[in-house]
A and B are shown apart, each in its own frame.
Chain A
Amino acid sequence: MFGGAALTVRAGERLAIHGPSGCGKTTLLHAIAGLIKIESGTIHVDDEDVTLTPPHRRGVGLVFQDNQLFTHMDVADNVSYALRVLGMSKRLRREAAAEWLTRVGLQGAADRHVSELSGGESKRVALARTLAGSPSVVLLDEPLTGLDDQLHGRLLADVRELFDHLGTTVVHVTHDRAEGAALCHRSVEFESVAHHGFHGSRPPD
């Protein structure tokens, strides 16, 4: 599908991928995360070939476009899910969740049910849930879509500050060029990737 294209993201770099709806941006992220199997080509994370690695062992975090929060768990259990998978005790998980919730500006929301969250709060919880697992790479699938202008601006600033602080490697898919430019160091155009590959600036050395 991606027609022999190659894309490299340096450690600590934030890359924005732009492109119109339906061009395969989400598919690309899901392929990197291992949620779908690719028929040809390879995917490397930290110089390791993870093409055949199952999704739960890739160390790649994805913030879904529609959040995909676990509706049968409260906010803290959502945020600390990756830590639970690692076998961390409940007390430590709750502490970690509280810390991550503070970082994303949702202090005190640990015991709330996810159905009570607003759109912006759900996005913050989804982001905290992904970051709490300390992934090598964070993939953002149009994470700020559907928010009003004021909320969008505030969340964008918060997310940028958080990523600046953490130094996370990010691949950010969005159709909003301004959002990509505000959050990322570099951007590529996905429009004609199916036939000609990625277009955009080279990765910094």
Chain B
Amino acid sequence: MSDQIFPLRIGRVSTFVVAVWIGVFLVLPVATLIVADLGLHDVTRILGQLSTWRLLWFSAWQAAVSVLVTGLISAPITWLIGRHHFRGRSILRAVTTVGFLLPSVVVAAGIQAVLPSAMQYSVPAMVVGHAYFNMAVMVRVVGSRAELFDDRIVGAASLLGASPQFVWRTVVWQSVRGSVISASVVTFVFCFTSNAVVRLLGDPRRSTIESDIARRAFGIGDISGATVLALLQLFTVAAILGLASARWAGNDRASQGTSPKLPGIPSHHRTTAGAIIVGTTGFVVAPLMALVWRSFHVGETFSLEAWRSIFEPMFLSTIRGTFRIALTAGVVGMSLCVLATLAIVQLPRLGRVVDALVMLPIAISPVTVGLGLILTFDTGWFDWRAGWWLTVIAHSVVALPLAVRVLLPAWRTTPHGLHRAAANLGAGAWRRLVDVDLRRMKPAMTAACGLIVAVSLGEFGAASLLSRDGAETMPVAIARLLSRTGDAFRAQAFALASLLVIVCLMVLVTVEIALMRGSRAARR
């Protein structure tokens, strides 16, 4: 006897649509990059230059230092959130996530606004930017793992004669090691492929591979050089992820458990905890406050001029265009996300292929996606670059991995029995999909849609290549204004960035509320 509740046809249709979308708008552009504009001489030309290897070396070591600094900055708050229960804990955790979800251009502009002038445009400034951006990864990944750690095992080890150092090394570290490594690898990849933070905060004489791809493609028109670098980056990231997964896979699986009840903060740790909360909140909030403060000042003088100017027709069309792209990307990306998740949940084998497909954009940087899209759809009978929808397509692809990761756990919690009940009450396959899955999934879908909108609002890499003059997105406009000389331009950049912060925070609060509702519904 076999279950006949899930007709596989819906899953297969979903797989087809997702595969076509990813194939046409991600794989084909990258393949076009390789096939159309690349000869062996380009590869030897770029790989034969010492500067290419310097780029790779700089990208790698700044990423390694950024991981270390992110770890050091995140460790106290991760310990506090991961090992203690206290009032405001979930708010504090949401605060630490803000940096990750805000547009990288905005984060960079905010940090630029607080840094002393001696530190502007330097490698340390860039590293601080990366730490700000990636703190959420450490707190979420390591903190969630630390929550599962049961203190009683430390007592058990001590009773067996182990010293505190020995217990730390053999018990505590072993239980969080996997998550620390995962978070470090993810942070390393993000910093290795960083673009906006490098361009806005870093030393202008030094580039990462990603920022050099953009420079070559956009600045000097060396498309084949940019392609070789994009491939070099793609292979390096794939190698890092492959190596990490082969070397450290299963680290967490070995020690999974149910979450024990967390203790409150002991009285002798209250001062330390207070200092950590104030320090972390200050680290997150100060750049955003500075952003707003600086938007009201031209030079040292208080002025509303920047805010007034961003609502003039030129900027207003930028703002409208950005929202139009973000909202459309939200709808398109959400539809793709639902189809992909459906295929992953319904089809055991093909679902794994779809899962791998939707994760592809993590390994392929937005700049590479943008470059590939231009080369594929801006030639011959296509002239899509003139249309804003190419940016929508890029954003729907770039945000897909994150959105699917939000929707997938929620979908997997749908009790199979509800499908049986609906079928028994007369609901066909599509009706069950709508009534049981999609209706239950509403909070998670709202959250996923919100995340796509937030990603699209702040996405810089692909948009910087796809936006044309006069139709640029807000992050591209911010970066352009920041690169110009003059206090008035900087104030305009800060005003636009402040506006983007306000909108993104509103979207993110919606996402958090939706996720909270979703987890409450799942507990019912």
Contacts and interface: CB of A to CB of B under 8 A. Distances in A.
B515 to A, nearest CB: 16
B1 interface: yes
Interface in A57-114: 57, 60-62, 64, 66, 68-73, 81-82, 85-86, 114
A72 B439 contact: yes
A72 B259 CA distance: 26
A133 interface: yes
Nearest to B5: A35
Interface string B441-470: 010000000000000000000000000000
A34 B4 contact: yes
Contacts of B417: 64, 66, 68
A30 B417 CA distance: 11
Interface residues of A, number: 35
Contact of A54 (B420, B428, B435): B428
A71 B443 CA distance: 14
A136 to B, nearest CB: 12
B420 A68 contact: yes
B425 A1 contact: no
A72 B521 contact: yes
A114 B521 CA distance: 11
A70 B524 contact: no
A128 to B, nearest CB: 12
B276 to A, nearest CB: 37
Contact of B4 (A55, A62, A71, A86): A55
A45 interface: no
A68 B418 contact: yes
A37 B524 contact: no
Contacts of B440: 71-72
Contacts of B415: 68
Main secondary structure of the interface of B (DSSP, over half): helix
Interface in B277-316: none
Contacts of A55: 4-5, 420, 423-424
B421 A68 contact: yes
A106 B439 CA distance: 25
A38 interface: yes
A82 B5 contact: no
B431 interface: yes
B429 to A, nearest CB: 8
Contacts of A46: none
A71 B442 CA distance: 13
Contact of A133 (B3, B420, B425, B439): B425
A127 B439 CA distance: 23
Contacts of B422: 70, 81
Nearest to B520: A115
B172 interface: no
A27 B1 CA distance: 9
A38 B388 CA distance: 54
A123 interface: no
Contacts of A85: 425-427, 431
Contact of A61 (B5, B420, B424, B431): B424
A188 interface: no
A36 B3 contact: yes
Contacts of A133: 425-426
A1 B5 CA distance: 20
Given A56-B423, A70-B418, A31 B1 contact: yes
Contacts of A64: 417, 420-421
A71 B524 contact: yes
Interface string B395-423: 00000000000000000000101101111
B433 interface: no
Contacts of A66: 417
B4 A1 contact: no
A35 B436 CA distance: 16
Interface in B1-17: 1-5
A70 B417 CA distance: 10
Contacts of B4: 34-37, 54-55
Contacts of A33: 424
Nearest to B432: A56
Looking at A68, A73, A86, A114, the one whose CB has the most chain B CB atoms below 10 A away is A68
Nearest to A81: B425
Nearest to A58: B424
A56 B427 contact: yes
13 contacts: A37-B4, A56-B423, A56-B424, A56-B427, A61-B424, A61-B425, A68-B415, A71-B524, A73-B439, A82-B425, A82-B426, A114-B524, A130-B425
Interface of A: 1, 27, 30-31, 33-39, 54-57, 60-62, 64, 66, 68-73, 81-82, 85-86, 114-115, 129-130, 133
- CB-CB nearest 7 A-B residue pairs: A68-B421, A55-B423, A68-B417, A85-B426, A82-B425, A115-B524, A71-B524
